[in-house]
Amino acid sequence: MANSKPAKPPVVRRGQKRFYVKGSQAQIDQRRGFVARMLDTGATKTEIHSAVRQRFNIEWRQTDRYIAFVTSTNTRLPRARVEYRQNPQDDYYRELIKMYQDAAKR
């Protein structure tokens, strides 16, 4: 017999429209890796928001937090521009993608 706690029902707190359940670290890593791969392909912020919403059912605010984590900034991501692929941080994004892909395989 396992001593597992019963699952708490989701709660909609004051000021929220939907319930919130915090993701596990593995889920968070998967989401961040997905965002990093989309940034690597040159996706715009709007495209990232809609893809994350469809795949993980996450609100745009949380998606912005994942983008900020991946880009290591606390500001919002500017619109993608044509010169994005010439950005010297491309190697950084590729390393992040490799890191999250390796973590997802475990």
Going from N- to C-terminal start, the domains of the chain cover 25-105
Of these ranges, 5-9, 14-18, 33-37, 71-75, the one predicted with the greatest mean pLDDT is: 33-37
Q: Determine how many CB atoms are found less than 10 A away from the CB of residue 12.
A: 10
Q: Which pLDDT band holds residue 97 (cuts at 50, 70, 90)?
A: confident
pLDDT at 38: 92
Residue 83's pLDDT is 46
For residue range 43-74, what is the model confidence (pLDDT) as tens digits? 999 999 999 999 998 889 899 999 988 887 54
pTM summary value: 0.58
Mean pLDDT of the chain, nearest integer: 78
* Contact partners, residue 35, CB within 8 Å, separation at least 6: 48, 52, 63, 66, 67, 70
Residue with tokens 């997802």: 104
